[in-house]
């Protein structure tokens, strides 16, 4: 039997390595920019076309390469960073394995022009799929100029798996941000399809953060500093005011190398305990300096996963340093044993308007007047208060069974029905609480009544019991259905503003907004840009001006959380517009208006839940009512 094991040809081995190193255009950007930094460049320019499919060009003013080095850098495992195995435990550079350029050259058309300061002429090399087409002297400035064209030209399967240009460019932005933050002493420029996205000059770290992520971070950064024998920690954390529902601006660096670590992320989140409501994530930009011998960066091909020898100690240092930094700026509560803590408010109640307690006195109450109850027992006339309390508890239980949840059990009926506004968070019924769809025919709808309108609720009688409707959520559902039906036929009406509204955005938010500009324009938004500020000149006619900015914030959160098609973005935006429009809606209290409103609600195919998944309607059966008595 013949031998079957053989060595792979170099071009096949390079393509296999490219599958690990080059996953998408952003991987090429990362590797080449890191090489420019290792070459001592003080100015790096990045030019992108078609999100990297057509062109990725990196121009730097580093020290350049000799003709021989320019040729050798494309060979596998050729590197100037290490010479012995021990060098792996003393790394102070970005790249070190010598696979990046060989892998890139295996799947693209590469042109390199490079020159050293002492050379009269530079070198120009042209490579296509690991094959060197030409190498000749050329006149060029000091440094390196890499042009990567037609990425994955010989690997069509990999090219077909690339996402849309907007998605791929977002990944490039992510890699760009991870490089420019630790190297704020270097000038960077990023141009996409001849449009300048970033133009960053050397600046202190705080200024670099503001230049990259927007002015909103200008006054919302808290410095964090802690130096020990194990780790030196420096950087900033964002104040609770700039916390987001998505893990956006969260950056950890060790020895100026970006890495991801859920363990250390938990340390930072623990430091923000009791400072942030649930489902909000703090922003942070923290830089660790650790002895290279105490870490292993060669765990993953992308080098974003790093092993720490003293990870438990570093966890404690990060947590205490962040907590101390927040305390110095009076963001965390002070430790004062003499202070009365009984009056401290939970975080979720800080923005609620205080309501003065109402004292009610029964002027007709006579403690000496007694009467026999049906059971033959004596009780005061005011003993009905105890019975009312029992009924309230029973009624709360019935509401809970009907799907309203336990939040009503702590409130009396008077408090519940007299409230004109209901805290949306406290009445947040999740879509998991699915119930049977309540369907009523026309005759039954006409028989409902009379109606009671209290706060945000409409109560009506039906043959099976009571029908309770949250009319603002009902209006939100009807408004959403009307908007969605009209959206695909004609653009929605836009209301022009006398004074434009201004919204400061980061580059990522600008890209997310511009990515869906046609859909947003069709919905009724008109705007212009002034640097990092969005000037909103027109809003959907149905949207109240007081809710515009909060609506824009929620839209941006959804846009940045994932890839949305036209229908999904329409649902995201229209549901936010419908929610904002429902906040100012008032239902007329006459019986005819309420009857027409309820009939219109039941015309909707989905009238049990609002577009955001909150319960609209519930039914309390006669059996549940009997249990109250």
Interior/surface letters 348-362, b for 16+ CB within 10 angstroms, e for the rest: eeeeeeeeeeeeeee
CATH number of domain containing 438: 3.30.1370.100
CATH number, domain with residue 43: 3.30.565.10
- Any idea which of 141-145, 372-376, 551-555 has the lowest mean pLDDT? 372-376
Token pair of 599 as six digits: 């009939």
Q: What is the pLDDT of residues 350-405, one digit of tens each?
A: 566 677 777 777 777 666 665 444 444 444 444 444 444 444 444 445 445 444 44
Q: Angle 364-367-370 (CA atoms, 0-180°, nearest 5)?
A: 95
Starting at the earlier edge strand, list the strands of the sheet with 452-454.
452-454, 457-462, 465-470, 617-621
Q: What pTM value is reported for the model?
A: 0.68
Residues 485 and 552 in one domain: yes
* CATH (domain of 300): 3.30.230.10
- The rounded Cα 395 to chain-centroid distance in angstroms is 40
> Cα–Cα distance between 9 and 11 in angstroms, integer?
6
Asked if 497 contacts 627 with a C-beta cutoff of 8 angstroms, the reply is no
Instruction: Identify whether the C-beta of residue 102 lies closer than 8 Å to the C-beta of residue 117.
Output: no
Same domain, 73 and 48: yes
- Contact call for residues 149 and 55 (beta carbons, < 8 A): yes
Domain boundary at 306, 328, 350, which? 328
Indicate whether 190 and 225 sit together in one domain.
no
DSSP 120: S
- The 3-state DSSP class for residue 470 equals strand
340 in a structural domain: no
Q: Are residues 517 and 626 in the same domain?
A: yes
Residue 182 lies inside a defined structural domain of this protein:
yes
Do 115 and 143 contact (CB within 8 A), yes or no?
Answer: yes
Are 168 and 229 contained in the same domain?
no
Query: Do 162 and 244 sit in the same domain of this protein?
Result: no
The answer to the question of residue 180 being in a domain is: yes
Alpha-helix runs per DSSP H in 144-236: 156-160, 165-180, 205-213
214 & 296 share domain: yes
Domain boundary among 328, 344, 359: 328
Report the alpha-carbon distance of residue 89 to residue 544 in Å, rounded.
60
The predicted structure's pLDDT at residue 122: 93
Query: What are the contacts of 607-610 at 24+ separation with CB within 8 A?
Result: 607/437, 607/438, 607/474, 607/477, 608/435, 608/437, 608/438, 609/431, 609/477, 610/473, 610/474, 610/476, 610/477, 610/480, 610/579
Q: Which two tokens stand for residue 609?
A: 């839940």
Residue 169 resides in a domain: yes
Express each pLDDT in 409-438 by its tens digit. 333 334 434 444 444 443 343 333 444 456
pLDDT of 314 reads 93
- Residue 125 falls inside a structural domain: yes
Tell me the per-residue pLDDT of 435-491, one tens digit each, with 9 for 90 and over.
Answer: 445 655 555 555 566 778 878 888 887 777 888 888 888 888 888 888 888 777 888
Highest mean pLDDT among 2-6, 59-63, 532-536: 59-63
pLDDT of residue 395: 45
User: Are residues 215 and 167 part of one domain?
Assistant: no
> DSSP secondary-structure letter at 249?
S
Sheet holding 109-115, edge to edge: 131-138, 122-128, 109-115, 143-149, 55-60, 43-49, 187-192, 195-200
- Phi and psi torsions of 60, nearest 5°: -135, 165
Position with higher pLDDT, 4 vs 51: 51
> What are the backbone dihedrals phi and psi of residue 536, each rounded to the nearest 5 degrees, phi first?
-90, 115
Residue 429 has what pLDDT?
39
Where in the sequence is the domain holding 591, given as residue range(s)?
411-629
Question: Can you say whether residue 579 is alpha, beta or left, with left for phi > 0 and alpha for psi between -120 and 50 degrees?
Answer: alpha
How far, in whole angstroms, is CA 337 from its chain's centroid? Answer: 38
Alpha helices by DSSP H, 181-231 = 205-213
Q: How far is residue 445's CA from residue 165's CA, in Å, rounded to a whole number? A: 52
Cα distances from 304 to residues 90, 254, 261, in angstroms, run 17, 10, 9
* The two three-digit tokens of residue 153, written as one number: 């030209």
- What confidence score (pLDDT) does residue 287 get? 95
Residues 190 and 228 occupy one common structural domain: no
Residues 209 and 156 in one domain: no
Same domain? 168 vs 281:
no
Report how far residue 570's alpha carbon sits from residue 522's, in angstroms, rounded to the nearest whole number: 10
Last residue of a domain, one of 328, 357, 381: 328
Q: Give every CB contact of residue 95 below 8 A, 6+ residues apart in sequence.
A: 31, 34, 35, 38, 79, 81
394 within domain boundaries: no
Given this model, what pLDDT does residue 87 score?
A: 53
3-state secondary structure of 466: strand
Residue 292 domain flag: yes
Cβ–Cβ < 8 Å for 556, 521: no
How far apart CA 197 and CA 508 sit, in angstroms, is 10
The interaxial angle of helices 548-561 and 566-583, nearest 10 deg, is 150
DSSP code string of 156-181: HHHHHT---HHHHHHHHHHHHHHHHT
pLDDT of residue 415: 42
Would strands 43-49 and 187-192 be described as parallel, antiparallel, or unpaired? parallel
Domain assignment present for residue 401? The answer is: no
Using a pLDDT cut of 90, give the percent of the chain over it. Answer: 25
Domain count, the chain: 3
Residues 228, 140 within the same domain: no
Cα–Cα distance, 300 to 294 (Å, whole number): 17
DSSP classification of residue 51: G
């Amino acid at each position: 039997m013949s031998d079957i094991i053989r060595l792979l040809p170099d071009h096949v081995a390079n393509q296999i390595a490219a599958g690990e190193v080059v996953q998408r255009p952003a991987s090429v950007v990362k590797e080449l920019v890191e090489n420019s930094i290792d070459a001592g460049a003080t100015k790096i320019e990045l030019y992108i076309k078609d999100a990297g499919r057509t062109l990725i060009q990196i121009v730097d003013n580093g020290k350049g390469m000799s003709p021989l080095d320019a040729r050798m850098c494309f060979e596998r495992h050729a590197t100037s960073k290490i010479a012995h195995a021990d060098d792996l435990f003393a790394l102070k550079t970005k790249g070190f394995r010598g696979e990046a350029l060989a892998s890139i050259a295996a799947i693209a058309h590469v042109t390199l022009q490079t020159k050293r300061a002492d050379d009269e002429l530079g070198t120009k090399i042209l490579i296509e799929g690991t094959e060197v087409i030409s190498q000749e002297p050329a006149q060029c400035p000091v440094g390196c100029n890499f042009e990567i064209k037609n990425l994955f030209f010989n690997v069509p399967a990999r090219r077909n798996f690339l996402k849309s240009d907007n998605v791929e460019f977002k990944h490039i932005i992510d890699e760009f941000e991870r490089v420019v933050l630790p190297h704020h002493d270097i000038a960077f420029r990023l141009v996409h399809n001849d449009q300048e996205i970033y133009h960053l000059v050397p600046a202190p770290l705080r200024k670099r953060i503001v230049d990259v992520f927007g002015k909103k971070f200008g006054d919302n950064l808290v410095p964090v500093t802690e130096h020990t024998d194990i780790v030196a920690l420096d950087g900033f954390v964002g104040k609770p005011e700039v916390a987001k529902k998505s893990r956006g601006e969260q950056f950890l660096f060790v020895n100026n190398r970006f890495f991801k670590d859920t363990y250390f992320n938990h340390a930072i989140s623990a430091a923000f305990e009791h400072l942030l409501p649930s489902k909000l994530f703090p922003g942070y930009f923290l830089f660790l300096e650790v002895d290279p011998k105490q870490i292993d960066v060669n765990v993953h091909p992308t080098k974003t996963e790093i092993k720490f020898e003293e990870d438990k100690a570093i966890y404690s240092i990060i947590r205490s340093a962040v907590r101390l930094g927040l305390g110095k700026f009076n963001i965390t509560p002070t430790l004062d044993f003499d202070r009365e803590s009984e009056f401290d408010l939970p975080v979720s109640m800080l923005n609620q308007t205080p309501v003065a307690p109402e004292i009610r006195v029964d002027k007709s109450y006579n403690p000496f007047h007694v009467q026999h109850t049906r059971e033959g027992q004596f009780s005061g006339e005011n003993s009905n208060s105890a019975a009312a309390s029992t009924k309230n508890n029973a009624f709360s239980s019935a509401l809970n069974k009907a799907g309203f949840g336990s939040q009503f059990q702590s409130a009396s009926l008077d408090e519940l029905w007299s409230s004109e506004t209901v805290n949306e968070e406290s009445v947040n019924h999740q879509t998991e609480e699915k119930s049977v769809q309540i369907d009523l025919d026309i005759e039954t709808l006409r028989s409902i009544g009379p109606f009671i309108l209290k706060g945000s609720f409409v109560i009506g009688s039906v043959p099976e019991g009571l029908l309770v409707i949250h009319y603002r959520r009902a209006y939100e559902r009807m408004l959403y259905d009307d908007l969605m039906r009209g959206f695909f036929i004609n653009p929605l009406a836009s209301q022009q503003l006398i004074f434009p509204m201004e919204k400061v955005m980061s580059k990522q938010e600008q890209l997310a907004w511009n990515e869906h500009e046609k859909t947003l324009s069709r919905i009724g938004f008109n705007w212009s840009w002034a640097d990092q500020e969005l000037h909103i000149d027109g809003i959907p006619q149905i949207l109240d001006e007081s809710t515009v900015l909060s609506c824009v914030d929620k839209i941006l959160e959804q846009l940045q959380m994932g890839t949305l098609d036209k229908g999904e973005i329409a649902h995201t935006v229209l549901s936010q517009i419908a929610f904002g429009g429902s906040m100012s809606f008032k239902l007329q209290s006459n019986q005819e208006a309420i009857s027409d409103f309820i009939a219109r609600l039941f015309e909707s195919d989905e009238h049990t839940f609002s577009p955001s998944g909150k319960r609209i309607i519930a039914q309390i059966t006669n059996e549940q009512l009997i249990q109250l008595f």
